[in-house]
Amino acid sequence: MDTVSRGFSILELLIALAIGSLVMAAVIITALGDQSSILSGDANADAVALGQNIIEEIQSLGRQDFNLVNPTTTKHVLGNVTLTANTQVELLSDGVTKVVTSTISWLSDAHHTLSSTFKTIVTNPDSGSPSSCGSMITADWSRARMSAPFDIGQSVSGGNPITEIAIFNKRLFVTTSNTRGHNDDFYIYDASINPITPAFVTSLDTNTVTPGLHSIAIASTSAAVYAFVANGNTSNWSTCNPSVSCAQVQVLNITNPLAPALVTNYKIPATTTPFVVGSGGQGVPNTLVYKNGYLFVGLSKTGSGPEFIILDVGAGSGSPGNPRYKGSYTVGRAVNSIFVQNGYAYLATADNTREVIELDITNPAMPVFIAAFDTPGASGFGGGNTLTGVGVKLYLGRNYVSGAPEWYALDTTNPTALTLLGSRDPGVNPATESINGIVVRDFIAFVVMTQSFQIWDIGNPGSITPLISFNLSGNGASGAAIGCNDNYMYIGSYRTSNEKGVIYTLYP
């Protein structure tokens, strides 16, 4: 009986131990599961915080410059978890809205990919006209191709070199000089169907004399779409009366691209403020920029009076059909290019000690000098020629100068001191190579020069990497202007033999 009793007790003990082992295993599994859930919850909280920070940063960048909102991929190590943030950006067809999607992903302890997604919309109310050139790089431009050139004005034998290309709503608006007299100087091409070889729409002769047009700026308003064009007439501003042959600015209504119409001829006042006078090429407009109801005009050196002019064309009492003088600044040299952003105007000038001038235009009636930048080089050469910017970076292209670069990247973070970030000598035919046009998209620069077109990686402005180059001079052409539409770059040029305007299309 004792034996039976002991056996039963041993059996009970074995059963109890087995049950205890199962319970302990369950406790351990439950504890580990709870710990994994805690870790997963922490990662999710970190992902939410990171996603919110990225969205806030994107919104801040958009307020600074719409062109800073671009796709990115970054990794963030938080303890034992690595979060990957992939941000995609889509430019909508209106040209002023970007949809930003940021996905934060990470691996769980079970090696499952988990993710959280965040979205926001960034708009560009600061833009005078919708952009057709998205800032995002969506293709491999190191493998770009160049089309055969197409002629501007098929019936024109020559004498219409391209001066500028503006693009709006998938249409190219092209201005040309008129060196041989009475050619059309304003052309419209449609790139919506065949972007490589846009279709001719119409053309217009805005002048009854030879100089043609030097620049164009497009403004889209609630009422209409306008093109402001810089008239190249070399009038005597003291004596002439406003007309097609006596106007620095002409305004065209291009709402119907099939029938552009002249709205008005505007002459900058010569007998009242700002007293712009001159003749024989003095006080002729070189460049135009439209921004928020103002038209910014850069003139060749005047006989007397300022070379930088601000016109009210909609911000106040003025309108596109009735421009009104607002403010000005005397440079003492030609203003060849203008870039306007966040209350500042940056001027590329022919002053060889101040190739870049920065003005505070918070009060457009009274521009105030802030800073200047002097590029190296011999006196009389290398004046500022073209200017653009993204965020706090400013990019200057200048005319050829011996023994010094023609490309400069400047930091504008401190408005009172323009700081050099890097420079580059294009190194192609250096005896004649000037930079005539620049487009910057994210970390890629598209650069038009006298004899070539080059694409550079400028992610590190101090160490620029050339990606690809195209020789224009080998085709008997000279580079003069650039326009951008989606993933197509249009290089305005002319044949050196007869000054016939042509356009090359570049695409990845």
Q: In angstroms, how far is the first alpha carbon of the chain from the final one?
A: 96
Please classify residue 8 by burial: count the beta carbons closer than 10 Å to its beta carbon, then call 0-12 exposed, 13-18 middle and 19+ buried.
exposed
Reference 329, options 277, 269, 276; nearest CA is: 276
Q: Is the preceding omega at residue 274 within 30 degrees of 0, hence cis?
A: yes
Backbone angles phi, psi at 407, to 5 degrees: -120, 135
Q: What is the pLDDT of residue 13?
A: 41
CB-CB contact of 348 with 307 (8 Å) = no
User: Which of helix, strand or coil describes residue 293?
Assistant: coil
> Which tokens is 465 given?
């990497």
CB within 8 A of 326, min separation 6: which ones?
Answer: 294, 310, 311, 312, 315, 316, 318, 364, 365
pLDDT greater than 70 at residue 82: yes
Q: CB atoms < 10 A from the CB of 280, how many?
A: 10
CB within 8 A of 335, min separation 6: which ones?
Answer: 286, 287, 298, 299, 307, 308, 347, 348, 349, 350
pLDDT greater than 50 at residue 288: yes
pLDDT band, residue 177 (cuts 50/70/90): confident
User: In 98-247, where does DSSP find H-type helix?
Assistant: none
pLDDT greater than 50 at residue 30: no
> Which tokens is 139 given?
């293709």
pLDDT band, residue 127 (cuts 50/70/90): low
Instruction: Please state which of the ranges 7-16, 57-66, 125-134, 295-304 shows the lowest mean pLDDT.
Output: 7-16
The larger pLDDT score, comparing residue 172 to residue 123, is at 172
Q: What is the pLDDT of residue 183?
A: 79
Domains with residue ranges and CATH for the chain: 2-123 (2.20.25.110), 141-507 (2.130.10.10)
pLDDT in tens, 191-211: 999 999 999 999 998 875 668
What's the average model confidence in pLDDT over 242-267?
95
pLDDT in tens, 401-445: 888 899 999 999 998 999 999 999 886 554 568 999 999 999 999
Cα separation of 117 and 90, whole Å? 15
Q: What is the pLDDT of residue 1?
A: 39
Percent residues over pLDDT 70 in the chain: 86
Q: What is the pLDDT of residue 26?
A: 34
Range with top average pLDDT, 125-134, 140-149, 492-501: 140-149
Instruction: Please state which of the ranges 7-16, 22-31, 123-132, 375-384 shows the lowest mean pLDDT.
Output: 22-31
Q: What is the pLDDT of residue 131?
A: 67
User: In 267-307, where does DSSP find H-type helix?
Assistant: none
Cα separation of 154 and 265, whole Å? 28
Percent residues over pLDDT 90 in the chain: 56
Cα angle 170, 174, 178; round to 5: 170
Mean pLDDT of the chain: 86
CB-CB contact of 194 with 144 (8 Å) = no
Q: What is the pLDDT of residue 155?
A: 67
